[in-house]
Amino acid sequence: MSELGYLSAARYGKQLVKVARVVREGDQHFIVEYVIKALLEGDIETSYTKADNTVVVATDSIKNTCNIFAKTSPHVLNAPIFALHLALHFVTKYDHIKKAFIDIEQLKWSRIEVNGKPHKWSFVRDGDEKSLVECVADATNGPENVTADLKVGMKDLLVLKTSGSAFENFYRDEFTTLAEVSDRIFSTSVSIQSVISLPPNIPLTIDNLPEIAKELDFPKVLPQITKDVLETFAEDESASVQATMYVTMQNILKSCSAVKEVSMQLPNKHYIPINLSAFKLDNGLGREGGAEVFHPAADPSGFITATVTRK
Ligand SMILES: O=c1[nH]c(=O)c2[nH]c(=O)[nH]c2[nH]1
């Protein structure tokens, strides 16, 4: 067969590996629920080009590894470190696997409070937002010289404010119909990713993960990022989605020294005041910030993205 193309990229693995893990400390229980994507790269070309499966770590084995690590990894409750553990495993266990890409989506299980006291083993799904980890381990320079990129973030965090948001002085031309507003509803579904600097003085090995985990302190950093997102959204006198997202990312760089870059993607979920004058009802359309009845528009939505990198 004469071939017209060559294999210019190849990566494979398992996605939608769903696993929940209970950790019991006496009668105090903890739970995490993860959706894992684990993909591998390396000397795997012949599996595509020569039907040579000898180089293929089966995607079924990759799934098994995720489940085994959910049982055995001491880092299972700390999603970013657990992702690093899995990624380091794949690139050090198999000589011919040079890169591992581990993405984890963590579903929300918050401890239920009863009479103001955290319950020992009962949890509630009190939000649709997911915590995200993206981890890439690279052993191209050998198993003793693994490097990794680590991002933490979240998606589907739905927020809305009924004041403290304007959109004025935007570019006007013959395509413009939008009126300026000094007071509008601002609603968005927050997607955010923070690039984490790994401690430069600690070699990246599985044995050093406890020390790396201690240094990075994700149980403190992840809630801090959420706090920055929510408090900036609430408090910022928003001139636009663009301006508010920029302030949010600056605040995260300020409060989290391990974050070296932040990216956000924000839909502008429009709430459009409804004209009720046909029914002799004043819906406050003539008064800024006066409308009470809105159409929550399903589409289209604005879509604003940006990245801020530490200087
Ligand atoms: O915050 C906003 N940014 C925009 O770029 C934009 N464009 C628009 O029509 N409304 C808005 N709001």
Each residue's pLDDT tens digit, 173-208: 999 999 999 999 999 999 999 999 999 999 999 999
Quick one: average pLDDT of 283-309?
A: 93
Please identify, by atom number, the ligand 1 atom nearest to the C-alpha of residue 186. Answer: 1
Question: Residue 19: helix, strand or coil by DSSP?
Answer: strand
pLDDT attached to residue 1: 66
What mean pLDDT is predicted for residues 157-183? 97
Beta 259-268 vs 271-273: how paired, if at all?
A: unpaired
Q: What percentage of the chain exceeds 90 in pLDDT?
A: 97
Q: Residues 6 or more apart from 197 whose CB is under 8 A from it?
A: 258, 259, 260
Nearest 10 degrees: CA dihedral of 115, 116, 119, 120?
-120
- The per-residue pLDDT for 276 is 96
Q: What pLDDT is attached to residue 289?
A: 82
Q: What average pLDDT does the chain have? A: 97
Triad 174, 179, 184: Cα angle to 5°: 150
pLDDT at 287: 84
Catalytic residue status for 29: no
Under DSSP, is residue 33 helix (H, G, I), strand (E, B) or coil? strand
Q: Is 167 in the pocket of ligand 1 (CB under 6 A)?
A: yes
CB 99 within 8 A of CB 43: no
* Residue 230 DSSP code: H
Residue closest via CA to ligand 1's atom 8 equals: 302
Distance CA(271)–CA(250), nearest Å, equals 27
Length, in residues, of the chain: 311
pLDDT band at 285 (very low <50, low <70, confident <90, very high): confident
Residue pLDDT, tens place only, 106-145:
999 999 999 999 999 999 999 999 999 999 999 999 999 9
CA torsion sign for 191, 229, 119, 79 is positive
Specify the pLDDT at position 205.
97
Tell whether ligand 1 has an atom less than 6 A from the beta carbon of residue 178.
Answer: yes
Asked if ipTM goes beyond 0.90, one says yes
Catalytically annotated residue among 29, 37, 46, 59? 59
Contact of 292 with 284, CB cutoff 8 Å: yes
Which range (8-22, 172-186, 276-290, 292-306) has the least confidence?
276-290
Buried b / exposed e along 211-224 (16+ C-beta atoms within 10 A)? ebbeebebeebbeb
To which H or E segment does residue 60 belong? Answer: helix 59-72
pLDDT tens string 52-63: 999 999 999 999
- CB contact set of 13 (below 8 Å; sequence gap of 6+): 37, 38, 39, 40, 59, 62, 101
Q: How would you classify residue 284: left for phi > 0, otherwise alpha for psi between -120 and 50, otherwise beta?
A: left
* Nearest CA among 85, 1, 2, 109 for reference residue 36: 85
Taking a C-beta distance cutoff of 8 angstroms, is the pair 20, 31 a contact? yes
Give the number of the atom of ligand 1 that is nearest the alpha carbon of residue 165: 1
Given this model, what pLDDT does residue 288 score? Answer: 83
Q: What is the pLDDT of residues 68-112, one digit of tens each?
A: 999 999 999 999 999 999 999 999 999 999 999 999 999 999 999
